[in-house]
Amino acid sequence: MTLSSSEENYIKAIFQLQVKDGMVSTNEVAAVLQTSAASVTDMLKKLKTKKLLVYEKYKGFKLNNEGRKLAIMVIRKHRLWETFLVNILHFNWDEVHEIAEQLEHIQSQQLIDHLDDFLGNPAFDPHGDPIPDASGKMPYQSQLNLNQFPLQIAGEVSAVGSQSPDILSLLEHKKITIGAKLKVMQNFAFDNSFEINVNDKERVHISSQLAEQIYVKKILHDSK
Amino acid sequence: MTLSSSEENYIKAIFQLQVKDGMVSTNEVAAVLQTSAASVTDMLKKLKTKKLLVYEKYKGFKLNNEGRKLAIMVIRKHRLWETFLVNILHFNWDEVHEIAEQLEHIQSQQLIDHLDDFLGNPAFDPHGDPIPDASGKMPYQSQLNLNQFPLQIAGEVSAVGSQSPDILSLLEHKKITIGAKLKVMQNFAFDNSFEINVNDKERVHISSQLAEQIYVKKILHDSK
DNA sequence: AATAAATTTTAGACAAATCTAAAATTTATT
DNA sequence: AATAAATTTTAGATTTGTCTAAAATTTATT
């Protein structure tokens, strides 16, 4: 089954929406792809005849097994290309999305296999997102030390390294709890300290020692 | 000026044809692109309104300066990607054309610049074709030693290393003259000798020592 | 130079992917 | 439960790139 770029964009968008929502709606897809609801309906009909999704009009839809498999392969391509652009061509991680959007549609299984090998079969892309392997298996969403967590990416505190009261009182003081939302705004090379945003409100400064004790998980969200 | 994939394919084809022919005809382009003459006419009108070529109906056409510049940039992209596929991803030189046909249409000046740097600003691609630099300057068609000449590629004897009668008599014996057409069919690793085709007729065997004295130029031809 | 052959262009149609506006359906509200 | 609001689908149009068949033009041949 070979898909057009447009079809690939739709199944990728549907896949990412259904991970959280289960059933997906026409408007959601239209919003993600910046297109009209009517265009989405047109494409749904087409993808249904290609047997890539379960769809009954007015009732919502979701990808079936075949559609899911294809979506994962598009995501695999996208993330491998992003890894290439950042690790090999030295782009910044925030410049690569648009280019990877184009590269992900290149049709050649061999190309992806070779690229994957060349990159050393990476498990995560530069944004910290998991890269599905050739069989479609997706590594677990990584829990990263705050030290290694990418800048400007929404994360959620998933664990704390030590339970010592000293640390906990400091964390409490900074409103950092398990499940707290945070975003690393800046890293200061001098002492490897961090400026971070907690729960979209507090701006706090974290020492290198404290950062080492905080584990963060990327918050799953829409695009890419 | 941004072009669609289709437009890029047309100006590339016209460019390669006009290098030899000067003026290009509708049928020639149709043959190269495997499409109908009517489609070519349609595209010519479009490219004319975009001011990329000089065209008067029934009179033939050719790219103007702007069109030529754009064509050269497409060729640059194609050849850089081929170099990447062969040198970095270890494809064989005969597997890369189709993939490069897709990659050449990715739109990002930055991507090409970074790729060029990563590859070490190569002057020739794996087929021995010159790669235009960022300003559009094309290196002279390389004259390669027979030892380094790619397999299965049509070449033309351009020079001989020494004029000693011993060599010339051997060359004469093998019908290898300046201007003779040849194609390297096989290279034997044991003694680095070659099996080559001369003038599409004779099959001759060339010792490593003799090969070293023969210089070959790629014969310019249609596609790629 | 007249006619035949080849080439090129026009005319009209089609598929893919999109749009807007109106109609159909579902969901929410009074 | 009736009506209003939101969502989704249909109907019909548009753009890009393509096609075939017929008409126009050029080139070659007798």
> Residue B194 pairs with which residues in a beta bridge?
B187, B206
Q: Which chain A residue is nearest to residue B118, measuring alpha carbons? A: A89
Domains of chain B by range and CATH?
A: 5-63 (1.10.10.10), 143-218 (2.30.30.90)
CB-based contact, A14 to chain B, within 8 Å: no
- Report chain B's mean pLDDT, rounded to a whole number: 91
Chain B residues with CB under 8 Å of A108 CB are 98-99, 102
Contact A91 B110 (CB under 8 A): yes
* Tokens matching residue B67: 């069109």
Lowest mean pLDDT among A79-93, A105-119, A207-221, B53-67: A207-221
Question: What ipTM is given for this predicted complex?
Answer: 0.79
- Angle between helix B37-49 and B26-33 (nearest 10): 110
B64 dihedral zone (left: phi>0; alpha: psi -120 to 50; beta): beta
Q: d(Cα B27, Cα A59) in Å, to the nearest integer?
A: 52
CB pairs under 8 A between A and B: 41
Task: Give the model confidence (pLDDT) of A119-161 as tens digits.
Answer: 999 998 887 789 999 999 998 876 788 888 888 888 988 878 7
Q: What is the pLDDT of residue B223?
A: 36
Nearest 5°: phi and psi at A9?
-65, -40
Chain A residues with CB under 8 Å of B114 CB are 85, 89-91
Task: Give the model confidence (pLDDT) of B140-185 as tens digits.
Answer: 876 888 888 888 888 988 878 777 778 878 888 989 887 888 999 9
Higher pLDDT, A140 or B14: B14
Q: What is the pLDDT of residue B217?
A: 86
Contact B95 A89 (CB under 8 A): no
CB-based contact, B99 to chain A, within 8 Å: yes
CB-based contact, A114 to chain B, within 8 Å: yes
Q: What is the pLDDT of residue A189?
A: 85
CA distances from A1 to A105, A186, A189 (A): 14, 45, 49
Q: What is the pLDDT of residue A144?
A: 82
Chain B residues with CB under 8 Å of A91 CB are 110, 114
Beta strands in chain A (DSSP E): 53-55, 61-63, 143-145, 155-160, 181-188, 193-198, 202-206, 214-218
Which chain D positions come under 7 Å from a protein C-beta?
7-12, 16-22, 25-26
